[in-house]
Amino acid sequence: MISKDPNHVHTYDAQGRMTCCSLEEKIDAKTGTPHSCCEVHEQEAEDGHDHSHGEKPSWMQYAPAIVSFTLLLTGILFEQVFKPAFFKDPIKLIWYLVAYVPVGLPVMIDAVKSIAKGAFFSEFFLMTIATVGAFFIGEYSEGVAVMVFYSIGELFQSLAVQKAKRSIKALLDIRPDTVNVLRDGQLKSVSPSEVQIGEVIQVKSGEKVALDGELISDTASFNTAALTGESKPDNKAKGETILAGMINLQSVSDIRVTALFKDSKLSKILAMVQDATSRKSQTQLFISKFAKVYTPIVVFLAVGICLLPSLFVSDYQFSDWLYRALVFLVISCPCALVISIPLGYFGGIGLASRNGILFKGSNYLDVMTKIDTVVMDKTGTLTKGVFNVQEVVAGGIDPMELLRLTAFIESKSTHPIASAIVQFAGDSPNNATIQQVEEISGHGLKGIIDGKEVLAGNLKLLKKFAIAFDSELEQIVETIVVVAINGKYAGYITIADEIKEDAEQAIKDLHGLGIKTVMLSGDKLSIVNKVAKALSVDEAFGDLLPEHKVEKVQALKDQKRTLAFVGDGVNDAPVIALADAGIAMGGLGSDATIETADIVIQNDEPSKIVSAIKIGKLTKKIVWQNIMLAMGVKVIVLALGAGGIATLWEAVFADVGVALLAILNAVRIQRVKLV
């Protein structure tokens, strides 16, 4: 269960243990943004009073409320219906005290702990003085009732939080505890953290992959639901990348490890999800600060309601006005607000994760509701980034030699175009020596192969080195890789990319939300315009270097637009960092881009951009519904309590009832199915 102590924000670690730190520690004093400073709050686990109530509910969790409720109900029947002669003071007092202890004592202990930490005006303190006051004026059953229904409300809150956590927590169960590694010709079962880069692991049918690696079996099929949210089989061929978290669907597969356990993409995803729960939205931060000010105010108002009437009410009865003050205190507890709001955001993060979208904090759910412009990279975002060589055109050199040299230098790059050329070259002779390879950002590659200076890249590369080429090359619409050898133009290779299946619908849906779309690309303007026209993108810019993309995004921000940038390459990281919401395509995206991004789309589908915006809007709607409901009811009942119209029974039912309604509304988001 999330603590409602206004001075602290509680979150949870991978084992479901509560973490805690003060708001002052969580908020950066300069930027006003939250950072993850919490450590596990061990003491509460040690002293047996864990606010999280554990991850596996047992009968012990419900026993105190059941015992107290049974005794309360029996006492009320004795008092109001059967009226046995023995049920009078002091027996009645003792009976209700016994009913009070199971639910009241833990709250009193929490009140003392809160006071020891400097949080004098906590909800535990309010409940304690309200119920003790009820016993003082002889309203025993009402005092017990306040604490019983408060505890029942706490149990519902605990269950709701556990339900909200389940979809996220499920991710933590997808890492295998052991892995079969091939050592000295034998398979050994070891912990994944003990496996080194370069070792070969074996994954049987139905088993989960524990580490990122390269498939060395000829073919294999994997379920990628843990990483992408999509359960359809993904067929892999020898040499292709396999990620931790995938499930082997067919025969035994051998995989050569390419990353340590702690560096796997799955580990990074899990870290993002866990970290997301500790990054609070501005609404959450406001409510926490509000509760910190609100609670002492209502305590002093309650004192005023009890004592001030003695100055101007002729028939002043202390017990009557104390009762009104106690009603006022019970209804003033900000339970519904402080629980349902973070629960709403937590549900939003869970809904997103089930749909293959990782929000790195609930604050980004709020940001997505304000987006009015979505700026997208082309390759890998709107197009598949799976390129195929169409034609090799040589100029004064043998086409096979042109392909060999180009494939050899491109083998030093991870760009999808480079991979396409290397794959197309296949088993072409590559018995050559390569030296001094240099990647020129936004242009291409330069290197020495067998003593020859080879340039391979776009036309800007040739212009940069003042190499003459036929002007007709600039009229070619397709993507081309031009090659120069020893300072002379040698030919080009044409490459084709495909638009993603859901890209057109994604743009249409964004327009339906009133959002402007912009496409930025380092590719040729002719290709960019062709893709933009096919997708109906509002604006498109091509021939851009990374710094030019930054300039375009900054220009949009200068127009006071709230924008999201979506990209997948290393060169997109600076623009993603600049945008109000940086979105990375996590399936094919680079680690640098994913680390920089605020939101990660795991299956590379552009339509998930729309889903992320819808989830943000739905979460905000539910959160504000809860705020209005809680504040509205509290204002009404506070006024009734101060006027002597509402009783403690009505106060507790109003308080717990509003909290439960808010919780039910908050967990509703977890059942939403995105179209």
Q: Which 3 state secondary structure label does DSSP give 673?
A: coil
Q: Which of 269, 279, 201 is nearest to 229 (CA)?
A: 269
* Side chain identity at residue 171, one-letter code: L
- Per-residue burial over 515-552, b if 16 or more Cβ lie within 10 Å, else e, is bbbbbbbbbbeebbbbbbeebebeebbbbbebebbbeb
The position carrying tokens 């580490």 is 211
Q: Which 3 state secondary structure label does DSSP give 223?
A: strand
Q: Which CA distances in Å does 494 have to 68, 287, 390, 498, 637? A: 78, 57, 5, 14, 73
* Side chain identity at residue 186, one-letter code: Q
Exposed (0-12), middle (13-18) or buried (19+): which is 196, by Cβ within 10 Å?
exposed
Distance CA 293, CA 121 (A): 9
**Chain center to CA of 429:** 48
Q: Are 49 and 76 in contact (CB under 8 A)?
A: no
Q: What are phi and psi of 440, to 5 degrees?
A: -100, 105
DSSP symbol at 76: H
Q: Which 3 state secondary structure label does DSSP give 197?
A: coil
Catalytic residue among 110, 212, 366, 377: 377
Helix, strand, coil shares of the chain as percentages rounded to 5?
50, 20, 30
Distance CA 517, CA 515 (A): 6
Distance CA 9, CA 38 (A): 9
Distance CA 416, CA 403 (A): 16
Q: Are 256 and 240 in contact (CB under 8 A)?
A: no
Whats the size of the chain, residue-wise? 675
Q: What is the DSSP string of 127-158?
A: HHHHHHHHHHTT-HHHHHHHHHHHHHHHHHHH
Q: Does 377 participate in catalysis according to the annotation?
A: yes
**Chain center to CA of 450:** 50
Residues carrying an active site annotation: 377
